[in-house]
Amino acid sequence: MNAPAATARPADWLESGKREGWVFSTLCWLSTWSSVAILLVLLVAIVSQAWGWLDWQFLTSFDSQRFPDKAGILAGLWGSFWTILITILVSVPVGVGAAVHLEEFGRNDRLSRIIQVNLANLAGVPSIVYGILGLTAFSRMFGLFGEQGLIPISEINLLGWQIPIPFGKSVIAGALTLALMILPVIIVASQEALRAVPPSIRHAALALGATRWQMVRHQVLPAALPGIMTGVILAVSRAMGEAAPLILVGATTFVLYAPGDISSLADIRENPEGLLRAPFDSFTVMPIQIFNWAQQAKADFREHVAAAGIVVLLGMLLLLNATAIVVRNRSQKRMKY
Amino acid sequence: MAQPLMNVAPNRPPSLPQGPAADESAPPREPAPRVTKFDVRDLNFFYGAAQALFNVNLSIPQQSVTALIGPSGCGKSTFLRVLNRMNDIIEGTQVAGTVLLEGIDIYGKDVDVVALRKRVGMVFQKSTPFPKSIFDNIAFGPRIAGLKDKRALAEIVESSLTRAALWGEVKDRLQESALALSGGQQQRLCIARALATNPDVLLMDEPASALDPASTSRVEDLIFELKENYTIIIVTHNMQQAARVSDSTAFFFNGKLIEFGNTQKLFTNPREQQTEDYITGRFG
């Protein structure tokens, strides 16, 4: 150091700030990368365990109780497909509709504030509680129907479509339960998205002689759509990985058929009424199959088949999220304000 | 032409001639006696418990430009929004008094607010293009009114953009996003969009306050041309602008209409002391 003695050492107050900054940014770096590292370890472990087990046979076979190398996830794939399809069909229209009502039409009175607070609470209710609710409300329908029920009917005829009630251990009971579970999440996310649409858009539409409905339909909803989509996808991903409430509702752990006996596209051609039967069939889903395998006595089930199932489930979730991101970015590009 | 304001219009006078032919080529600055468009009587306006307008009485002549001036918070924007009932969307507002549009009370029981807003168009301070194409922005009003025919829509889009002096600049990129336009172009787009519903009144809430001088002067030129066919009411903070574009001027202060009259007279020889103080820059 050739600098004069007076300037060789920076004053204390200069030094301390620098050190704090360095410590803080290092901590931030650590917390970011630690989560990524853990995820990476997990992925590597799972994939290496599933290696050699996750093949075409695994994807296209039903389960096997005795032979790990003959077990497959087909029942879970189709069960998850039907469950999630019905969950989406129920929860998205109801959830977005509720959000639109609360944000665009409802008055900001006491009642809507109570609803608002309760929505936030509902979003935090554990899934097992929804399972109990679904069991009572959908699987058993409070014991109102059925042979021993107050109203002794066991099916409804809806335009020639036999709907068994109560729903029992069926896809629809599970899907309605999951729909109830993710409804608050969808509503809250959609409300956020609607609130992010600038009021000036609303005023401009109204000033052009739009009715409130036309304003919502043509300007506000399209502008909020990317945000709504994000919320829906996050909620649906959560529903897809959920096992607990479905076990309560009565999803079966060991299943050797797909809902409605449709396990390939060819089946739809041969057996089209299976499509109508599928929602009321008993079922299993991927997370429950994984849960079941992880409990088996044979080590191969626990170590390899379950891992293969996890990889399939993770792959599905990643696919869903990736689609969401692509769709969202595409629609976002068209509307920036 | 204009949409019916009511389902049944009992006392509506025979529709008045409009358009350039009816203007009798009067010199623009000469305040020839004109037909009254808006007749405001004893208007009081409240935001909840706070009163924003006190006993406003005002007759706005047809096919002219009326400027509303006054310091911030004086009620001029509130008054403007009374005229197309945009205040209705704010919860807890209340209107007392009568506002007659060609003799019909727009706060009457049978009035369809949607039809009113189609006749009384509005342009906001901040340009508010929808995040859609230029074409879809202009076509929005006619479309929600039920027009589906593509050729008719295209004609309306062209004529509205032409009247807003924007057609030449955008005719080759109608399908591009309206958000790609410059600030001045966006504001003229909003004017074109308001014209597309075929209104006969145009309310403008500081339409040029966010624009650069060149864009401002284009908008002012446009206002000058549009008054041939439309009744224009403009809120402005800029007194030179009020003097340049308007035929009559209303000065608001603390929710009261202090003075209303011919623009030239009001600016050169105001009747009230408060008006003089304001226009000479002693306050506000």
Summarised one tens digit per residue, pLDDT across range B224-277 is 888 888 999 999 988 889 999 999 999 999 999 999 999 999 999 899 898 988
Which residue is associated with the tokens 């039409």?
A: A105
Whether residues A148 and A282 fall in one domain: yes
- Please give the Cα distance from A76 to A286 (Å, whole number): 4
Q: Which residues of B touch A206 (CB under 8 A)?
A: 86, 89, 117
Q: Which of B3, B144, B193 sits opposite A218 (nearest CB)?
A: B144
In a domain, A278, yes or no: yes
- Determine whether the interchain pair A206/B117 forms a contact, defined as Cβ–Cβ distance below 8 Å: yes
B24: pLDDT confidence band, cut at 50, 70 and 90?
very low
In a domain, A235, yes or no: yes
Q: Can you give the pLDDT at residue B34?
A: 65
- Determine whether the interchain pair A208/B197 forms a contact, defined as Cβ–Cβ distance below 8 Å: yes
Q: How many CB atoms lie within 10 A of CB B121?
A: 27
Q: Which residues of A touch B122 (CB under 8 A)?
A: 207
Q: Which of B89, B118, B128 sits opposite A209 (nearest CB)?
A: B118
Whether residues A243 and A99 fall in one domain: yes
Whether residues A143 and A289 fall in one domain: yes
In a domain, A11, yes or no: no
Whether residues A41 and A57 fall in one domain: no
Whether residues A177 and A322 fall in one domain: yes
In a domain, A59, yes or no: yes
Rg (CA), chain B: 19
Distance between alpha carbon A241 and the CA centroid of its chain, in Å? 7
B210: pLDDT confidence band, cut at 50, 70 and 90?
confident
Whether residues A24 and A164 fall in one domain: no
A 88-147 near B (Cβ less than 8 A): 107-108
Q: Which of A204, A218, A337 sits opposite B124 (nearest CB)?
A: A204
- Which of A112, A131, A138 is CA-nearest to residue A285? A131
Interface of B with A (CB under 8 A): 3, 84, 86, 89, 91, 114-115, 117-118, 121-122, 124, 126, 128, 130-132, 140-141, 143-145, 177, 179, 190, 193-194, 197
Rg (CA), chain A: 26
Q: Which residues of B touch A218 (CB under 8 A)?
A: 140, 143-144
| A208 interfacial to chain B (CB closer than 8 Å) | yes
Which residues 6+ apart lie within 8 Å of B222 measured at CB?
A: B164, B165, B188, B191
Q: Can you give the pLDDT at residue B77?
A: 92
Mean residue pLDDT across chain B: 85
- pLDDT, tens digit, for every residue of A214-234? 999 999 999 898 889 888 988
- Please give the Cα distance from A258 to A279 (Å, whole number): 11
Searching chain A, which residue's CA lies closest to the CA of residue B198? A208
> B121 has which bridge partners?
B202
Indicate which CATH number applies to the domain containing A166: 1.10.3720.10
- Determine whether the interchain pair B114/A210 forms a contact, defined as Cβ–Cβ distance below 8 Å: yes
- Determine whether the interchain pair B117/A336 forms a contact, defined as Cβ–Cβ distance below 8 Å: no
DSSP letter for each residue of A315-327 = HHHHHHHHHHHHH
Domain range spanning residue A42?
16-50
Whether residues A32 and A61 fall in one domain: no
- Determine whether the interchain pair B140/A335 forms a contact, defined as Cβ–Cβ distance below 8 Å: no
Q: Which of A103, A208, A333 is the mutation pick for testing B, counting most B CBs within 10 A?
A: A208
Searching chain B, which residue's CA lies closest to the CA of residue A335? B131
Is the pLDDT reported for residue B15 higher than 60? Answer: no
Whether residues A36 and A133 fall in one domain: no
In a domain, A7, yes or no: no
| A335 interfacial to chain B (CB closer than 8 Å) | yes
- Determine whether the interchain pair A203/B141 forms a contact, defined as Cβ–Cβ distance below 8 Å: no
> B100 has which bridge partners?
B39, B105
Q: Which residues of B touch A334 (CB under 8 A)?
A: 131, 177
Q: Which of A205, A206, A335 sits opposite B131 (nearest CB)?
A: A335
Q: Chain B: nearest CA to A237, how far in angstroms? A: 30
Cα distances (Å, whole numbers) of residue A23 to A19, A26, B39: 6, 5, 70
Q: Can you give the pLDDT at residue A16?
A: 65
- pLDDT, tens digit, for every residue of A132-158? 999 988 888 888 887 777 777 777 777
Whether residues A288 and A239 fall in one domain: yes
Q: Which residues of A touch B121 (CB under 8 A)?
A: 207-208
Is the pLDDT reported for residue B32 higher than 70? Answer: no
Whether residues A121 and A147 fall in one domain: yes
Which residues 6+ apart lie within 8 Å of B243 measured at CB?
A: B249, B263, B264, B267
In a domain, A191, yes or no: yes
The ipTM, to two decimals, is 0.82
Q: Can you give the pLDDT at residue B139?
A: 94
Domain count, chain A: 2
| A333 interfacial to chain B (CB closer than 8 Å) | no
Model pTM score = 0.80
Residue numbers in chain A where pLDDT is lower than 50? 1, 3, 337
At A271 the three-state DSSP class reads coil
- Determine whether the interchain pair B190/A204 forms a contact, defined as Cβ–Cβ distance below 8 Å: yes
For residue A166, cis peptide bond before it (omega within 30 degrees of 0): yes
Q: Which residues of B touch A207 (CB under 8 A)?
A: 84, 86, 117, 121-122, 124, 194
Whether residues A42 and A114 fall in one domain: no
Q: Can you give the pLDDT at residue B17?
A: 42
Q: Which of B86, B87, B114 is the mutation pick for testing A, counting most A CBs within 10 A?
A: B114
- Determine whether the interchain pair B131/A223 forms a contact, defined as Cβ–Cβ distance below 8 Å: yes
Whether residues A201 and A140 fall in one domain: yes
